[in-house]
Amino acid sequence: MATKKEIAQDFLKLASKGQSGEAFELYVSDNFKHHNAWFKGDGHTLMTAMEENGRKNPDKIFEIQRALEDGDLVAVHSRVRQTKNDLGAAVMHIFRFDNDKIVELWDFGQAVPENMINENGMF
């Protein structure tokens, strides 16, 4: 049986490849809630937006940097680039689970600047 951390990572990998329908079918609860100021909070809206992004950006590069699991919460820190030449963004997804289903999701992103002041980088 997969851990919550593995489920969250597989969900993101599928969604980033344009397979959000499969990701939602496998891993998301019927009473799912999403917290992002730019989208309605239901699963269908998010799934549709993920599918559209996958069609618009078929060469997207999604790289998980680290994942943490604590009880019913999982946090995944990733780098997302729409193309290989794109600087991309650092993205954090926080999942809340009920048993082995995702019931809530928060996501935050920060664009990678061309000239970074911090010598440690974002990843």
Give residue 1's pLDDT: 84
In the predicted structure, residue 46 carries a pLDDT above the cut 90: yes
Query: For residue 73, with 0-12 CB atoms within 10 Å meaning exposed, 13-18 middle and 19 or more buried, which class applies?
Result: middle
**CA separation for the pair 76, 68 (Å, rounded):** 7
Residue-wise pLDDT for 54-80, tens only, equals 899 999 999 999 999 999 999 999 999
On the question of pLDDT at 98 being above 90, the answer is yes
Percent of the chain with pLDDT over 70: 100
Total-model pTM: 0.94
Helix axes 20-27, 4-16, angle to 10 degrees: 160
Average pLDDT, integer, range 103-111 = 97
Query: Quick one: CA torsion of 67, 70, 72, 74, rounded to 10 degrees?
Result: -20
- pLDDT one-digit tens code per residue, 4-16: 999 999 999 999 9
Give the mean pLDDT of the chain: 95
- Statement: 4-111 belongs to CATH 3.40.50.12280: no
- pLDDT confidence band for 83 (50 / 70 / 90): very high
SS3 letters for 48-92?
HHHHHHHHHCCCCEEEEEEEEEECCEEEEEEEEECCCCCCCEEEE
